[in-house]
Amino acid sequence: MPTQQHFTDNLPKMASYIDTPEALNQLCAELEHSDFIALDTEFLREKTYLPRLCLIQVATTTTLAIIDPIALADLDAFWKVLRNSAITKVFHSGRQDLEIFYEQCGLITTPLFDTQLAATLLGYGDQIGYGALVEAECGISLDKAHTRTDWTVRPLNPGQLRYAADDVRYLVLLYQNIRKRLEQDERFGWLNEDFTAMTDPTGYGTLPEEAWKRVRGAQNLQGRPLSFLQHLASWREQKARSEDLPRRWIISDEILLDLARHPPRDLEHLRRIPNMEANVLRHYGHELIMLLRAITEMPASLFTAANSRQMPTPEQDALVDCLLAVVRVQAITHGVGLAALASRRDLEALVLGELDSPLLHGWRRALGGEAVLDMLQGRAHLTVVDGRVLLRRQNLLKNEGKSSPTAKRVSVTQVAT
């Protein structure tokens, strides 16, 4: 069980509101001397293609500040702080924040630490929220009254500012507490590769030719329908970016899939597409018909032959179910979250022959990968005894460098239901 810590007396009581270049420069001069800074953002993306950055919250053990990007035309001093490799940047579920920074200035900040990801090594469930983790680790219940605030409206009231500041005020405590516990368990370095992967620029932004991968249902298409979808999604991506509108405002995923499966020949057939929206017909009808005709006239050799993702058979699905149970048993046994070891998709890929799985590398292999390999190779099985799930594994012992077929060690992992 986590130890609850109450260090609120040592935290800054009030957040500085940074809305002038002078205040920003002074803040950044203070941050440059920090070992780590806690970071969060508030943004609005419901009506635009790119999220509109509204606030940047930052905190250290001695500093608490809210930066107003709407009031500040130049954030170069802050971007310089984020580029400082001597400072660890701490987030909770930071992918969206990193995406915003990448869109704003082409920056993926390093090094970083994500408390949501790190919490899985302490046995918390998959993707635990910030509020739940603060309550579990610090014994503090956060105000949720301003979750749906429109952060573009000025001035912000005291309650909104307090809510925004709390997103990093207690992130400082989370980082200190989680880091200490991971170091005590000798697990602090386990997630270095995961954090490094979060800083890969190829994971941010969407290339038009890759946009089809974000369409729900794309995995069910093959051949010509898949190629139609690839071209249609690329067109939508470029259109959404150029008009600064959400993708769904251009055309929904459902309609894209219908167009890919049954490409209409003219406007009349386009109108008959189920749930076709009037604004799509009005603004993009002629353009879509021209695009679909151009795709139809392409040589067959240019069409994608099949979806790159192989689908498991029913028998393979059953095997994945068994392996998922093995991983769950190992996760509980070692006190880590299931998602920290492997997802169902990871196990599907393994069953389908993709051996370069994170589960077979580093600490994941030691905690879960070896058990999965034992199961696949018939050296382990699951059983239930007295309502408990048991994983029984048989491994040959080594005797002076040689295997002894008669000397076997049976290890049993058990989890109470």
Q: What is the pLDDT of residue 415?
A: 53
What is the chain's mean pLDDT, rounded?
88
Provide the β-strand partners of residue 377: none
Phi, psi angles (nearest 5°) of residue 43: -150, 170
Is the pLDDT at 410 greater than 70? The verdict is no
Segment 40-50 shows an average pLDDT of 92
pLDDT level of residue 395 (50, 70, 90 thresholds): low
Is the pLDDT at 121 greater than 50? The verdict is yes
What architecture (CATH level 2) is domain 208-302?
A: Orthogonal Bundle (1.10)
Q: What is the pLDDT of residue 397?
A: 40
Nearest to 380 by CA among 357, 409, 355: 409
The rounded distance, in Å, linking the Cα atoms of 195 and 135 is: 24
Task: Please name the residues in contact with 361: beta carbons below 8 A apart, sequence gap of 6 or more.
Answer: 193, 369
Q: How far is C-alpha 299 from the geometric centre of its chain's CA atoms?
A: 38
The rounded distance, in Å, linking the Cα atoms of 82 and 98 is: 11
Q: Which CATH class is domain 8-203?
A: alpha beta
Segment 240-268 shows an average pLDDT of 95
Task: Please name the residues in contact with 342: beta carbons below 8 A apart, sequence gap of 6 or more.
Answer: 327, 357, 358, 359, 364, 368, 372
Establish whether the linkage from the previous residue to 155 is cis, with ω within 30° of 0: yes
Name the DSSP letter for residue 416. Answer: E
Domains 8-203 and 208-302 share a fold: no
The residue with greater pLDDT, 47 or 65, is 65
Task: Please name the residues in contact with 68: beta carbons below 8 A apart, sequence gap of 6 or more.
Answer: 17, 18, 19, 55
Q: What is the pLDDT of residue 220?
A: 87
- Give the residue extent of every domain in the chain: 8-203, 208-302, 314-416
Q: How far is C-alpha 77 from the geometric centre of its chain's CA atoms?
A: 28
pLDDT level of residue 398 (50, 70, 90 thresholds): very low
pLDDT level of residue 306 (50, 70, 90 thresholds): very low
Residue 189 has a CB neighbour count (10 Å cut-off) of 11
The residue with greater pLDDT, 42 or 193, is 42
The rounded distance, in Å, linking the Cα atoms of 402 and 399 is: 5
Q: What is the pLDDT of residue 308?
A: 53
Is the pLDDT at 407 greater than 60? The verdict is no
The model's pTM:
0.83
Segment 279-283 shows an average pLDDT of 93
Is the pLDDT at 204 greater than 90? The verdict is no
Q: What is the pLDDT of residue 302?
A: 58
Is the pLDDT at 78 greater than 60? The verdict is yes
Nearest to 28 by CA among 76, 62, 68: 76
Is the pLDDT at 400 greater than 70? The verdict is no
Q: Are 104 and 53 in contact (CB under 8 A)?
A: yes
Q: What is the pLDDT of residue 111?
A: 95
Range in 49-53, 215-219, 363-367, 392-396 with the lowest mean pLDDT: 392-396
Q: Are 5 and 177 in contact (CB under 8 A)?
A: yes
Is the pLDDT at 131 greater than 50? The verdict is yes
Q: How far is C-alpha 318 from the geometric centre of its chain's CA atoms?
A: 27
Task: Please name the residues in contact with 24: beta carbons below 8 A apart, sequence gap of 6 or more.
Answer: 18, 67, 72, 75, 77, 78
CATH (residue range 314-416):
1.10.150
Q: What is the pLDDT of residue 102?
A: 92
Say whether 116 sits in a helix, a strand or coil: helix
Segment 99-119 shows an average pLDDT of 92
Is the pLDDT at 150 greater than 60? The verdict is yes
Tell me which H or E stretch contains 227.
Answer: helix 223-243
Range in 74-83, 140-149, 287-296, 300-309 with the lowest mean pLDDT: 300-309
Nearest to 333 by CA among 396, 393, 376, 386: 393
Residue 173 has a CB neighbour count (10 Å cut-off) of 23
Helices 278-296 and 223-243, packing angle to 10 deg: 130
Helices 223-243 and 253-261, packing angle to 10 deg: 140
Q: No. of H helices and E strands in the chain?
A: 17, 9
Q: What is the pLDDT of residue 388?
A: 87
Segment 231-244 shows an average pLDDT of 95
Percent of the chain's residues with pLDDT above 70:
89
Segment 233-249 shows an average pLDDT of 95
The residue with greater pLDDT, 408 or 129, is 129
pLDDT level of residue 11 (50, 70, 90 thresholds): low
Q: For residue 48, count CB atoms less than 10 angstroms from its CB and return exposed for 0-12, middle for 13-18, buried for 19 or more.
A: middle
The rounded distance, in Å, linking the Cα atoms of 51 and 314 is: 41
Q: What is the pLDDT of residue 215?
A: 95
